[in-house]
Chain A
Amino acid sequence: MKRKLIIFSVAFIAIATLCSYVLFPYTMKLRTGTGYIDFEITGAIGVPTSFSNYNDYGPVLYNTLIKGGGGDILGDNNLPKFNVTYNTSAPTSVIGNNRNECGVGYNSDPDAIMFTHNLFNGSYIYESDIVVNTNFHSISSTGGTYDTNVGSNEYDRVTASRHEIGHVQGLDHSLSNSFLMYETISRGNRKTYDGDYKAGLNCIYYDSCAPYTGTGDITIETKAQKSNSDLRQLSWKISNNNSILGFNIYFSNKELNTESTYNNQLIKTEIDSSNEYKFTVINNSSNTYFLEIVYESGLRTYKNF
Chain B
Amino acid sequence: MRKIILFLCFMFSCSLAFSQLKKKEKLSKKQLSEYKIDYSNKMELLNLKHSADYFFDNNVNVYKYNELKSKGVDLIQVDKSTERTYKSAILFSNTQIKGTVVKRVYLDDKDSFFRTEISIKVDKSYYGTNLKKGEIIKLKLQSGKIGDDFLKVSNEPDLFLGESVILYLTSTDSEKFKKSLEGINEFNKNYKLKGNKDLNIIYSKKNSKVSNSFVLYKKYTVKNNIVFNKNKRKIGSLDEVENNIELISKINRL
Contacts and interface: CB of A to CB of B under 8 A. Distances in A.
User: Are A and B interaction partners?
Assistant: yes
Interface stretch (A67-75, A108-116, A204-212, A276-284): A108-116
B221 A245 contact: yes
Give the contact-size bracket for chain A.
Answer: 35 or more
Interface in B176-230: 176-177, 179-180, 182-184, 186-194, 215-219, 221, 223-224, 226, 228, 230
A161 B192 CA distance: 23
Interface stretch (A54-62, A77-85, A255-263): A54-62
Contact of A186 (B83, B113, B153, B176): B83
Contacts of B226: 244
A185 interface: yes
A98 B58 CA distance: 10
A217 B218 contact: no
B152 A110 contact: no
B44 interface: no
Contacts of A95: 180, 183-184, 187
A98 B176 contact: yes
A260 B142 CA distance: 41
B180 A99 contact: yes
Contact of B187 (A93, A107, A241, A242): A93
Contacts of A18: 161
Contacts of B149: 57, 119-121, 126
Interface in A97-145: 97-111, 115-121, 126, 133, 141
B6 to A, nearest CB: 43
A56 B110 contact: yes
Contacts of B179: 94, 98
Interface of B: 50-51, 53-54, 57, 80-84, 92-93, 104, 110, 113, 141-142, 146, 148-158, 160-162, 170, 176-177, 179-180, 182-184, 186-194, 215-219, 221, 223-224, 226, 228, 230-234
5 contacts: A28-B150, A110-B57, A120-B150, A184-B84, A244-B228
The 6 closest A-B pairs by CB, nearest first: A246-B232, A105-B155, A98-B180, A110-B54, A94-B183, A108-B82
Interface of A: 18, 21-22, 25, 28, 30, 48, 50-51, 53, 55-61, 90-91, 93-95, 97-111, 115-121, 126, 133, 141, 153, 155, 164, 167, 173, 175, 177, 183-187, 217, 240-247, 295-296
